[in-house]
Structure 1
């Protein structure tokens, strides 16, 4: 794959939240291989250190910061440390999300509703409030939503609803942040990561999902990284307010 990778992010600085594994790590890696200085983050220092080492081994300029997105001080610290080190921000990929639940919406405790709403939607806004003053002209924001935004599965209804909210947030912020910053969204299908393991590790569930795609396979973190970096790059300079569904042809319509 690396032979085909260009250098679209030379001289750019990119922050990716929840980026020490899974889709977030894949996105950070691709941005870095294309020349970006990448700032990665997640909740645990150990995970941050391990991910930084992996990316450095590939020749990527990377900086790791512990950031639990629901902690206001850690969010501010993520932005401040980035500015201290690199002086600007060109790309923000908002990937942090709380794990899907299997409870019915009407049986979900208020505290859990609050947590899902806070981590999946509210903190994405709050992080951008901190980052916005440092975003360069021609910068790009990408929200990572989900195929569940279009048709929330019964087993993860409220998670899907929070992901639907990101589609609206993309539209609203695209208008608000233009023309300086483009705001787009990627809606991944099912990717076998630790995050989605409770679904994709189940052989029957996995097969059922594969059959709903047109390619008879699950997505990969590389698939999601390619789509995200396209939207973040100047190749997409006339695209804003859009959601790109990367789900192997699974139906996606609100």
Structure 2
């Protein structure tokens, strides 16, 4: 093992302004990588500035649109001369409520938030990886493919898992690995951008507490994980240490496989 696992590599991390994505991006930079931090929050540039000088740059893009995904990959390739690794960190449940209580537009919003950015980014990065003749994609999925109060989100992350496996099979002949982690509940600092901009009603807060209780009861370790505990396996899968791993979704949820 080397703590310069990403020396000479260009890594794009989406959803990098906060949470797991932020942790991944800063660790990659600390391990020698050149990093493009992508987020639709404009303070992503402030996060990039915390990395070693000249090793990281922020890029503002809405990854829920294909144009945003394409623009991010073009920027990264032009800035650093190509792309070696993509870490897809955009996603997250917007609301938690019984499925019958979701409105159709809310279902669409969950799919758009937690499936489409990964689908779009994978498609947009492929020409750059093919040009390199190799590459790695790490998708951040979720063990909430089995869970309560977030069925649309679960469906979106199930799509990420299927995408990971199918894309890995299709592009293995091009020396492109596609893998994923499936985080469980994770303790994180307060979000600077709200999960649900409309705010949660009193009833929604009750439903959320029910989901949190289910997560804690389902994990063998009976606790949430930490950001560092989620970042470490992502970095391993993104590195050459995992060169014989592809098409795999690794649960990182204290024993709950989702």
Q: Structure 1 length as normaliser, TM-score?
A: 0.86
Question: Hey, what does 1:142 align to over in structure 2?
Answer: 138
Partner of 1:171: 165
Cα contact 1:98–1:115 (8 A) shared by 2 = no
Aligned counterpart in structure 1 of residue 49 of structure 2, from 35, 42, 53: 53
Map of 2:26 onto structure 1? 29
The aligned residue for residue 251 of structure 2 is 245
Q: What is the Cα deviation at residue 229 of structure 1?
A: 0.9
- For the residues of structure 2 that align with 1:207 and 1:99, how far apart are their CA atoms? 16
- Does structure 1 residue 9 correspond to structure 2 residue 15? no
**Distance in 2, Cα, partners of 1:213 & 1:152:** 12
Conserved? CA contact 1:33–1:60, under 8 Å: no
Q: In 1, distance between residues paired with 2:67 and 2:221?
A: 44
Is 1:87 the equivalent of 2:81?
A: yes
Q: Which moved more, 1:212-221 or 1:88-97?
A: 212-221
RMSD value, Cα? 2.5
Pairwise CA distance, 1:166: 1.2
Residue 224 (structure 2) pairs with residue 218 (structure 1): yes
Cα shift at 1:144: 0.6
CA distance in 2, matches of 1:166, 1:152: 16
- 1:156 positional shift: 1.5
How far off is 1:86 after superposition? Answer: 0.7
Q: Give the match's secondary structure for 1:55.
A: coil
- Spell out the pairing of 1:190-229 with structure 2 (5 A cutoff): 190-193=185-188, 194=190, 209-210=215-216, 212-229=218-235
Shift of 1:240: 0.5
Name the SS of the counterpart of 1:240 in structure 2.
coil
Contact 1:35 1:60 in 2 (8 A): no
Aligned to 1:157: 151
May I ask how many residue pairs the two structures share in their alignment?
242
After superposition, give the CA deviation of every residue in 1:100-139 in whole Å (9 maximum; x if it has no partner): 3123223322222222222321232222222111113331
Q: SS state of the match for residue 96, structure 2?
A: coil
1:233 to 2:239 alignment: yes
- 2:223, 2:54 → 1: CA distance? 30
**Stretches of structure 1 lacking an aligned partner (at least 5 in a row):** none
- Is the 2:225–2:254 Cα contact (8 Å) retained in structure 1? yes
Give, in whole Å, the separation in 2 of the partners of 1:122 and 1:144.
Answer: 13
- What corresponds to 1:126 in structure 2? 120
Matched, 1:99 2:99: no
